[in-house]
Each structure stands twice: as structure tokens, then as C-alpha cells.
Amino acid sequence: MSCMQTISDYGLRSIGIGERLLPTSDFTLCQQFTLIGSGMIWNIYFGVLALLAGFFLATAVALGKASANAWVRKPSQWFVFLFRGSPLFIQFFFAYFLFLTLRSEIAFFEPFTAAWLGATIVLFLNTSAYAGEIFYGALQSVPKGDTEAADAYGFSGFTKFRKITWPTMMRLAWPAYTNEAIFLFHATTLVFFSGFPAWKQQGDALYYASYFADKTFNPFIPYPILAGYFILLTLIVIGLFSLINRRLNRHLPQLSRPKIRYRPKLFR
């Protein structure tokens, strides 16, 4: 079987298109590359969706934490502590079983027990908490002179936030937020290992990598392939975020622009 054939059979296997049966013996390198790559679709799906939605909630949480009103501040603080203080692994398990219990009561929760919705919600809340803390830190470091100048120019309320505070907050938070985005993508590998079952063997990259490692009892091929894909993904994320970083800092002289540095942190 040629490699092109394998790619057309298994390239979209993780979303249920192509061959139904996974290869069971005589694994070729091409099969491992194709299937693990196919699983990356899920990792990218979870990461992108959670990141996009989480951005807005994170901004809200950061503002909430900085609020003078205790009714807003306390819930924000608890939200951040809840999701940053406990392992994502346990959060996945808890959410899955919570949705299972809810489903047996109310039919509406049917899709929540599937990974595509349930896991996305957990990742969304989780990244909101981490990014919210980053944004909060940046909000606290917005130079006082900036807001005073805004006051002097007659900015107030939402316009002041939109035109002055928020852009500076983004600019300060961006390098740390880039790392948060990378870890979110890494964290997506936990989805099918914790609670949420892979339906009809449609799993993510790690699911297929461990499938091959279990079948061949040889971890030295699938895991390095997986690592390679993730290094590629990391580079793409850094590239995209650097573009935004450049735009956020375009008014600053070349030398004083903050650089994005990859700072691995492992686990959440």
C-alpha cells in the first residue's frame, strides 16, 4: 500500500472520514505519521476554540479581579484559584462525571458528555483562569502616567479603557499570554486520557501515539513523531503571536520592544 493511499485512508480518520478500522499489524512509518497527524486536528480544534473564547472571559476576569466591588472581585478571585489551584486532569474527570450525572436528569446535557463540547468547555474555563491572572498582572502594571494622560485628554469610562488601558494591558501581557497559548495546546493532549472517551477510536494525537506504542511496544517511534508535530505547532503559534506582538508594539522604538520567549512550564 502506497503512502498516498494511507494518507487518503487515514488522513481524516480522527474525525471519522476514511477507513473505519485502524491498522492492526505491520505498522509503517507512513501510517504512524498520518494517524498521529490526523489526531492533531483535535488538538488544534480544542486549542483554537478554547483560546478564542477564553480571551474574552479572561479579560472579564482580569477586570473583575481588579474591581473595587467585592461582589465582582471575590467571584473572580475564586474562579482563578479554583482553576489554577487544581490539576486540569482532575477538572476533566470531574466535569465529565458531572455532565454524565446531569445527562441522566436532563436530556439537554447529552452533547456535553462528548469531548468536542465538554472538553472544550473545561479547557475554555481553564485557559480563562490562567490568562485572566496574566491579564490581571498586566493591568496592575499599566503605567500610571498613561491613565493620567488619558484623564487629562478627557477620556473616561469605556472609551478610556478601550483606547488606553486595554491596548497597554495587551502589550504588557502578550509575551506571557503566548506561553499560555502554547501550554493550552500541550494541555489538549490530556483530553482523551482523562474521562472523556474517544468515540469510535476518533482520538487526538496522543491517543494514536499511545495506540501505536501499545501495539508495537516500541515508544521510540510514535512519541518522537508526536513531539515533532507539537514542536511544529509551537513554532506556528509563536510565529502568529509574534506578528500580533509586533503590531501591539509598533509605536515603540525597535530596542525597547518586548521579545516573546518560549518558557516551558509543564502541566497545569
Partner 1 sequence: MFEYCANPDSLEGLTWLSCYLTTGKHLSFYTSFGTVLLLLAITAPVALAFGFGGAAMARSKVGPARLFGKSYISIVRGVPDIAFFMFFVIALDQGFEYLRHQAMCPDWDQPIRQGNDFVVCSAAKLPLSTSPQWIHEVYGFFLAVLTFAIVFGAFAANVIFGAMNSVPKAQIETAWAYGMTTRQTFWRIIVPQMWVYALPGLSNLWMVLIKATPLLFLLGVEDIVYWARELGGTKHARFTDYPHGDWRMWYFLALLVFYLAFTKVSEVVLDKLMKRLSLGQATAGGEALRRAAQ
Positions in the binding site for partner 1 (CB under 8 A): 25, 81-82, 85-91, 93-94, 97-98, 100-101, 104, 186-187, 189-190, 193, 206, 209-210, 213, 215-220, 223, 226-227, 230-231, 264-268
Strand pairing partners for 202? 199
Contact 13, 35 (CB under 8 A): yes
CB of 46 to partner 1, least distance (A): 14
In this structure, what are the phi and psi dihedrals at residue 202, rounded to the nearest 5 degrees? -95, 95
Nearer to partner 1, 73 or 215 (CB): 215
The C-alpha angle 233, 134, 93, rounded to 5 degrees, equals: 65
Nearer to partner 1, 97 or 199 (CB): 97
Three-state secondary structure call for residue 199: strand
CB of 253 to partner 1, least distance (A): 28
Residues of 246-258 as b/e, b for ≥16 C-beta within 10 angstroms?
Answer: eebbeeeeeeeee
Residue with cell 488606553: 164
Q: How many whole angstroms separate alpha carbon 53 and alpha carbon 125?
A: 9
Cell of 260: 516573546
Three-state secondary structure call for residue 53: helix
Nearer to partner 1, 171 or 186 (CB): 186
Nearer to partner 1, 86 or 140 (CB): 86
CB of 129 to partner 1, least distance (A): 13
CB of 217 to partner 1, least distance (A): 5
Nearer to partner 1, 54 or 195 (CB): 195
Nearer to partner 1, 93 or 166 (CB): 93
Of 42, 34, 48, nearest in space to 203 by CA? 42
CB of 104 to partner 1, least distance (A): 8
- Number of H helices and E strands in the chain, helices first, is 10, 0
Nearer to partner 1, 100 or 244 (CB): 100
Residue with cell 474521562: 195
User: With the CA atoms of 185, 14, 197 and 112 taken in that order, what torsion angle do they form, in degrees rounded to the nearest 10?
Assistant: 70
The C-alpha angle 135, 141, 143, rounded to 5 degrees, equals: 130
- The one-letter amino acid code at 239 reads G
CB of 225 to partner 1, least distance (A): 10
CB of 151 to partner 1, least distance (A): 30
